[in-house]
Amino acid sequence: MRSAKDFFAPLAVGAPAPLREIPARPSRAIHFFDPGNEKMAAKVPDMVGTVDVLLGNLEDAVKAENKEISRAGLVKIGQSTDFGPTQFWTRINSLDSPWVLDDLTTLVPAIGDKLDVIMVPKVQGAEDIHYIDRILAQLEAKAGISKPLQVHAILETARGVANIEEICAASPRMQGLSLGPADLAADRRMKTTRVGGGHPGYLVRQDPERGEDGVPLYDGPRTTYQQDLWHYTIARMVDACAMHGIYPYYGPFGDIKDTVACEDQFRNAFLLGCVGAWSLHPVQIKIANKVFSPSVEDVKHARRVIAAMGDGTGAVMLDGKMEDDASVKQCKVMVALAEELAAIDPDLKTAYDAIVLD
């Protein structure tokens, strides 16, 4: 572990100084595209400004024989696109793969000044982040890059979950974590074959009714309630990220056609503290943008509480409910997010500006 005094020192002579704080940039949808797929790649320039993050994916979902084509496609897109307000990320291949070294040594010199964040899959522990941290510093120094690249780790191994705090704390480059439910399910030997989302078998059942003699009637009808397979991991990820000042994200939802369940999964993540989710198909961008933007009703309520609370101390009654120092802090989280999003999303700005406090 590095000492506190050299934590923010560059790891290579000539590399940019690490960031002291990770900027809170809107990232409601991290939209995945394969830069080697001509049809998808052709859509990228027109998607700028419609999505918070465009991510050129080089890892899983890119066939082994296409890895070089996708990498070259990403360089071309990076060099020829003006990303404006949209962040530009990539997901590199895993650290044990034959492609990752070429990913890094190609991408950083060619488009390192355009890339905001490098997503690293299958991170197991701090040692993986330390490896990336040093090599990025060397490549940034060689390429004369002035803005440090940030690093995002996918939480998709059991060891990664066990080491989550040390991963978050491993480098000042750490921007956030995403849940990777597909690889994590495989690594944990969970018995779901889905890419994220729920499972009808993971449920609790209503207690049986009792007869007049008090004996349970086990053969009567009983409602079942499907539970969230990912609750524990998402909550753990949110705490680790909040503790380290970085950002948690829900990952992929593979049932592209089930837009309703996708919205539910994203909303659960939003309510628990995530700032965004992955979009695998254009249809999921709209869902993420909606879910991860506070509703007009929530922003209105938050503003009313803040107004009613004056200096933010004490307790008041509003609509029959007690509000105090703690609830005003919750409301400030909501309003701060609304303000960040309004700054980049004109429709949201109009909707939030139209709020009139009763």
183 is in an annotated binding site: yes
Please report how close the Cβ of residue 60 comes to ligand ACO at its closest, in angstroms: 4
Nearer to ligand O=CC(=O)O, 112 or 180 (CB): 180
Q: Decide if residue 296 touches ligand ACO (CB under 6 A).
A: no
Please report how close the Cβ of residue 351 comes to ligand ACO at its closest, in angstroms: 27
One DSSP character per residue, 161-187 reads: HHTHHHHHTS-TTEEEEEE-HHHHHHH
Give the binding-site size for ligand O=CC(=O)O (rule: CB under 6 A). 10
Site for ligand ACO in 155-184 (CB under 6 A): 182
Cβ neighbour number for residue 192 with a 10 Å cutoff: 17
Nearer to ligand O=CC(=O)O, 183 or 345 (CB): 183
Q: Decide if residue 154 touches ligand O=CC(=O)O (CB under 6 A).
A: yes
Q: Decide if residue 217 touches ligand ACO (CB under 6 A).
A: no
DSSP reduced 3-state for 8: coil
Q: Tokens for 241?
A: 């990220």
68 is in an annotated binding site: no
Compute the half-sphere exposure of residue 324: CA atoms within 13 Å on the CB side of its CA.
Answer: 4
Nearer to ligand O=CC(=O)O, 25 or 122 (CB): 122
CA distances from residue 220 to 206, 214, 223, 233 in whole angstroms, order as listed: 11, 14, 10, 35
Site for ligand O=CC(=O)O in 112-141 (CB under 6 A): 121
CA gap 266, 292 in Å, rounded = 8
Q: Decide if residue 256 touches ligand ACO (CB under 6 A).
A: yes
CA gap 88, 145 in Å, rounded = 16
Q: Binding ligand O=CC(=O)O by CB under 6 A: which of 112, 148, 180, 197?
A: 180
In one letter, which amino acid is 190?
A: M
Q: Binding ligand O=CC(=O)O by CB under 6 A: which of 34, 183, 228, 323?
A: 183
Q: Binding Mg ion by CB under 5 A: which of 35, 148, 160, 180?
A: 180
One DSSP character per residue, 78-113 reads: HHH---TTSEEEEEPPPTTSSSHHHHHHHHHHHHTT
Number of H helices, E strands in the chain: 13, 12
Known binding residues for substrate:
91, 156
Known binding residues:
91, 156, 183
Residues that bind Mg ion (CB under 5 A): 156, 180, 183
